[in-house]
Structure 1
Amino acid sequence: MTHRYAAFHALHHGDRPLLLPNAWDHASAAAFAARGHPAVGTTSLGVAAAAGLPDAAGVLRVENLRLARLLRPLPVLLTVDVEGGCSDDPAAVADLVAELADRGVVGVNIEDGHPGGGLAPPELTAAKVAAVRAAVPGLFVNARTDAWWLAVPDSLPEALRRVRAYADAGADGIFVPGAPDAAAVTAVVDAVGVPVNVLHRPGGPTLADLRDLGVARVSTGSLLYRAALGAALAALDEAANDARPAQPGTADPLSYAEVQRLSALSGRGPGAARGSLRGR
């Protein structure tokens, strides 16, 4: 695995940011790999919704392990969104990541958004990062702060306090979804000495723009999953209404909140997860 870990790390130091498509099942991951993407992430919203579970609720341990096993034969480097690690015990989080590594996973996202709402103490997330780093040396630990997603007071200084703590704890990368503008992204890049990951925004900065800001990785989050659902509904409506096919790519993605509501219909898992601003 050492060479696979090294290959994934190297993708964060290329001439342009690593564009990381986020998959939710074998077919989507295989399709992204067939398009030539050397690495694929998972989207916790997509993985959860496909299983009839809520996102951001810390209930994806079994699904993540199952998906990692299923995707292992694909010719692609896989990183998994483990949310907060499905536990507030750093040792248990490290055990989960070690199991994922045994299934060929080369990276994980660990976030500080808490299933009960709000942000976990930065010391707890830093302890999780350190525990994973000790348990699986070489695996890429991407530490995420939801300070902007959850619109906490004084978001910029709070985000900077957290990303510095996570980098100091051994994070290999920092993920700041929801960073509102170039100034905020630049502040994060300047605050840490590790690769910075942002979320792709349709109509937002290009990869070249983000490269110029010092960004190393750009994730699609739940966008591709939501776009797939939107396209499926558009095709279904065309069939139901005997309509002519729309131009490809014109269907609107479902919103995060709409997908969460669909998952709630199953009645599985905890109640509604926090917020509708997530880009997972």
Structure 2
Amino acid sequence: MTSSADRNQLFHALHRPGPLVLPNAWDVASALIVESAGAKAVATTSGAVAWSLGAADGDKLDRDRAIDLVARIAKAVKIPVTADIESGFGKDAAEVGETMRAISEAGASGVNIEDGHGPALRDVQEQVDRLAAAHEAAPDLYLHARIDVYLRGIGEPEDRVRITLERAQAYVEAGASGIFVPGVTDLDTIKQLSEGIDVPLGVLAGPGAPAVGELAGAGAARISIGTAIAEAAYALTRKAAVELLTSGTYSSVEENISYGELNALFN
């Protein structure tokens, strides 16, 4: 097994030139499936991680439970793991630094930290302080700084590129390795952002978004899918349950990964 330092170095390198494509996982089984499908790294999704552990997304999950899950995933797979840690599981910069040290010890090679806070965004300087503390606590980890301008519809549409670029510059100066801008899939906008940001740009894809090749062509260096896979898995759970309880049939679960194949992933 490669060392943590080797995995961290590899994870950084996967972003240049990219694209690094990340089908998001939320537990050990889904991480092993993602790895077996050929992914070069595993990314957790905070929403599905929280749901699987009985909490809502949005800083509702206990930090220790989130870190424990990351440790389990990092131990199970052979490829780098990047953890979505929401806003850092801390009320201030010092606590975000504590989270980063724990995440590093858990075996992660990178993190996402968002600047969304409630319905708005954190003050730029406050977020800079949180990112700087994160970088100082674990300088070898890939620090993917998320900017929620598009996701939350902040400002007038014509101002969002400017607002995003201003935040991106401040976050990079604070130690961010890359910038993540979910909520934007317009290729022209991605091109503007990628040209204006000096570090790799990450975007969130999913149904209705351009294909990976198109997003990469516009300048996206990292493409993830967030909660989409988990949502589809839970949709199948509901569909199969309704079918079983109403018609008493089982067609919803005819296409599956067999018990033996799933069980073998853990060996």
Query: TM-score under structure 2 normalisation?
Result: 0.86
Cross-structure match for 1:277: none
Q: Which runs of 5+ in 1 are unaligned?
A: 250-280
Match of 1:142?
144
1:208 aligns with 2:217: no
Residue 112 of structure 2 is aligned to residue 109 of structure 1: yes
SS in 2 for 1:148: coil
* Pairing partner for 1:82 from 62, 80, 85: 85
Counterpart of 1:127 in structure 2: which amino acid?
A: D
**1:252 corresponding residue in structure 2:** none
Alpha-carbon distance in 1 for matches of 2:254, 2:125:
47
1:13 maps to a residue whose letter is: R
Superposition deviation, residue 102 in structure 1: 0.7
Query: Cα–Cα, structure 1 residues 134 and 244, in superposed 2: closer, same or farther, change >3 Å?
Result: closer
In the other structure, the counterpart of 1:188 is 193
Instruction: Find the counterpart in structure 1 of residue 222 from structure 2.
Output: 217
The offset of 1:247, in angstroms, is: 9.7
For 1:13, what is the secondary structure of its paired residue? Answer: coil
Aligned counterparts of 2:101 and 2:215: Cα–Cα separation in 1: 32
Identical residues among aligned pairs (%): 35
Q: Distance in 1 between matches of 2:129 and 2:108?
A: 21
Q: Distance in 1 between matches of 2:231 and 2:65?
A: 19
Task: Looking at secondary structure, tell me which structure has more helix per residue.
Answer: 2
Matches within 5 A, 1:21-60: 21-60=23-62
Cα distance in 1 for partners of 2:238, 2:155 equals 38
CA offsets per residue over residues 135-171 of structure 1, 9 Å max, x none?
2122100000111111111333222221121112121
Distance across 1 between alignment mates of 2:161 and 2:139: 31
Structure-2 separation of matches of 1:242 and 1:2:
52
Q: How does 1:116-265 map to 2 (within 5 A)?
A: 116-154=118-156, 155-240=160-245, 241-243=247-249, 245=251
Does the CA contact (< 8 Å) of 1:146 and 1:176 recur in 2?
yes
Task: State the partner residue of 1:9.
Answer: 12
Q: Is the 8 A contact 1:22 1:41 kept in 2?
A: yes
1:148–1:60 CA distance, 2 compared to 1 (3 A) = farther
Report the aligned-residue RMSD: 1.9
Cα distance in structure 1, aligned partners of 2:128 and 2:143 = 11
Shift of 1:243: 4.8
Query: 2:111 touches 2:142 (CA, 8 Å); kept in 1?
Result: yes
